[in-house]
A and B are shown apart, each in its own frame.
Chain A
Amino acid sequence: MQFWVIQTLNSLALGGLLFLLSSGFSLIFGLMRIANLTHGALFMLGAYIGVTILKFIPNLWVAALLGGLAVAAFGGLVERFILRRLPGNVLGQVLVTLGISFIIADLCLILWGGDPIPVPTPQALQKPLVVAGVSFPPYRLVVLALAIVVALALYLLMERTRLGAMIRAGIDGMQMARAVGIPVSRLFTTVFCLGAALAGAGGILGGPILSAYPGLDADMLPLALIVVILGGVGSLVGAFVGSFIVGFVYTFGVALAPDLAYVILFLPMIFVIAFRPRGLFGRAGA
């Protein structure tokens, strides 16, 4: 019983983290047609920046907020000064983001060293919650709740605000959006910063579960890609559902068949691609 409860909570928490990571990736892809391969590195950068902020302000929530902002600023610079110079060059943009992710990864190794840095769970959430003889680690529930709040906020942003309407217009038809006077260029920067902020904040919120270590980027990026391939690019609902599928499959895979967890991860992806190449919630032409 305890095993199943813990693993379920772990799956939900990992799913929540993956949603923070992949929703930004999916939005950026949907709007800008850029497969942003720095996303894993931004997640790791967020975790490391958070570690440093925690030294001065020992509050995880503040660290997540500041870390997210810092990573958003970095993302904005990348978009403005590098991606902006390669309009229409799809392969070039992907490779540039890949190059930047190598630079970030090496920079983190120089600045924070090669040893994993554990991130302490906030004091108030350290004590396990005991219900009916089964103990729950509360931090994981909080991560899940946060992810759901972010998902709702993103949904409202996309469906109920002017900004969201402009983003949706850009995703559906870039040229038309430009023609009717939507500032698509500014939109690109906004969405890129938003995606980077979510990834960065996700990195530090994931700290108490995953800790910050070199290689975190390479571990997270494929999971995010699989989420997006499963859910369909440009779809928030897809990212949400995909995140929890991958969260469960990966967590239980690691727990039950540690050697082959990666292969098990691969099965739902093949299954979905075989029957719905554009992903569960992907739209035709997206």
Chain B
Amino acid sequence: MSRTSWIVLALALVAVPWVAGEFYVNLSSQILIAAIFAASLNLLVGYGGLPSLGHASYLGVAAYVSAWLSLKFGLGHWITAPAALAATTLMACVFGWVALRATGLGFLMITLALSQVLWGLGYRWVSVTNGDNGLSSLTRPAPFGISLESAMAFYYFALIVTVASIWLMSRLVASPFGASLRGTRDQARRMAALGHDVWRIRWLTFVYASFGGAVSGLLYVYYHKYIHPTSLSLTSSAEALLGVIAGGAGTLAGPIVGAGIVLVLKNYASAYIERWNMLLGFVFLAIILFMPDGVVPGLRRAWARLRGDKA
């Protein structure tokens, strides 16, 4: 992207709360949260070639840990947030070790099974998770004494976290590590022959991506001030994966656009019909059958064709 378009985008993002009503500001905050979540999943799916169907685990666990610590022990956000991130990342170290015993479909099945175990735990371990009622009456943090209760304040908070997270992820992708990650996706055997530790590259990416998921989980629980087992569900992982694929896996902007599309669709659809899951299913079919490499690469191709014709 050129410098002008970056500036336009930045101005547009900053201007949202000044031009849009509260509903749209809140929607934008949710899109930002979904964007971090999808972008972190994209590190695995798009850059690592590791299709995970369990990414909701990290969002959900970070949210639950933060909520549980503050409800049970009355701890402040300055301690619950790092604790939640640390606990989730630690869990990802173990889950990554288990899931990366396989690749491809085996990896997908293991991540799915692990996350379904957590989802079941969310419903059944009532003494901790409060089961189907979820954990409620949570608070938002007040960094430097600034209250995040208003839609606008929360939006800016989410925007800062999102920009920082996406920037960190883009640094990772652009780094030599990112290059070797793409190498393990395309030519794992050659990378091993060149002396790269393929397993370690994948595992580190898994942990890094899960950390991104945990960050979005914290924002998620701050935004809703409530957490329910559905955020650990297969639907939640699948929505994120759909966002990644709809936007275009393995591109930086794709998953962010895709996550936005899925979220807007969900918000508008749920206003008119109750059948979000069915709609989600049909969107899955439509995207995969008719737009298999995603919206952003599709548009980029069209754009390149257009420019090529002009030249």
Interface residues, chain A, CB within 8 Å of chain B?
29, 33, 35, 37, 82, 85-86, 89-92, 94-96, 98-103, 105-107, 110, 218-219, 221-222, 225-226, 228-229, 233, 258-263, 265-266, 269-270, 273-274, 277
Contact = CB atoms under 8 A, between A and B. Distances in A.
4 closest residue pairs by CB, A with B: A99-B284, A222-B116, A102-B281, A106-B278
A37 B241 CA distance: 15
Interface stretch (B12-20, B35-43, B61-69, B119-127): B119-127
Interface in B54-113: 98, 101-102, 104-106, 108-110, 112-113
B234 interface: yes
A259 B98 contact: no
Contacts of A228: 109
Contacts, number: 119
Contact of B117 (A33, A95, A110, A263): A263
Contacts of A35: 105, 108-109
Given A35-B109, A262-B121, A263-B121, A221 B116 contact: yes
A96 B284 contact: yes
Q: How large is the interface on B (under 10, 10 to 19, 20 to 34, 35 or more residues)?
A: 35 or more
B277 interface: yes
Chain B CB within 10 A, most for which of A102, A103, A226:
A102
Interface stretch (B156-164, B171-179, B285-293): B285-293
A101 B285 CA distance: 11
A189 B242 CA distance: 27
Contacts of B127: 259
A218 B277 CA distance: 13
A68 B109 CA distance: 25
A99 B101 contact: no
29 contacts: A82-B285, A86-B288, A91-B245, A92-B292, A94-B108, A95-B242, A96-B284, A96-B288, A99-B284, A99-B285, A100-B285, A101-B281, A102-B284, A103-B281, A107-B278, A222-B113, A222-B116, A222-B117, A225-B116, A229-B109, A229-B110, A229-B113, A258-B124, A262-B117, A262-B118, A263-B117, A263-B121, A270-B98, A273-B98
Nearest to B129: A259
A261 B123 CA distance: 11
A269 B98 CA distance: 9
Contacts of A99: 280-285, 288
A35 B117 CA distance: 18
Nearest to A25: B109
A100 B281 CA distance: 6
Chain B CB within 10 A, most for which of A99, A222, A262:
A99
B114 interface: yes
B113 A98 contact: no
B125 A259 contact: yes
Interface of B: 51, 53, 98, 101-102, 104-106, 108-110, 112-114, 116-121, 124-127, 233-235, 238, 241-242, 245, 275, 277-278, 280-285, 288-289, 292
A35 B53 CA distance: 12
Given A99-B284, A262-B120, A263-B121, A269 B278 contact: no
Contact of A277 (B102, B104, B121, B289): B102
B48 to A, nearest CB: 13
Contacts of A107: 278
A84 to B, nearest CB: 11
A264 B102 CA distance: 22
Chain A CB within 10 A, most for which of B113, B277, B282, B283:
B113
Contacts of B125: 259-260
Contacts of B114: 266
Contact of A91 (B51, B234, B275): B51
Nearest to B118: A262
Contact of B280 (A96, A102, A229): A102
Nearest to B131: A259
Nearest to B245: A95
Contacts of A86: 288-289
Given A103-B281, A103-B282, A273-B101, A218 B288 contact: no
Given A94-B51, A277-B101, A259 B292 contact: no
Nearest to A261: B124
Contacts of A262: 117-118, 120-121, 124
Nearest to B125: A259
A218 B124 contact: no
B285 A265 contact: no
A273 to B, nearest CB: 5
Given A86-B289, A103-B282, 6 more contacts: A96-B285, A221-B116, A222-B113, A259-B126, A262-B121, A270-B98
Contacts of B109: 35, 225, 228-229
Contacts of B104: 90
B185 to A, nearest CB: 12
Contacts of A218: 116, 119, 233-234
B277 A95 contact: no
A103 B102 CA distance: 29
A136 B103 CA distance: 44
B96 to A, nearest CB: 12
B289 A85 contact: yes
Contacts of B275: 106, 110
A80 to B, nearest CB: 14
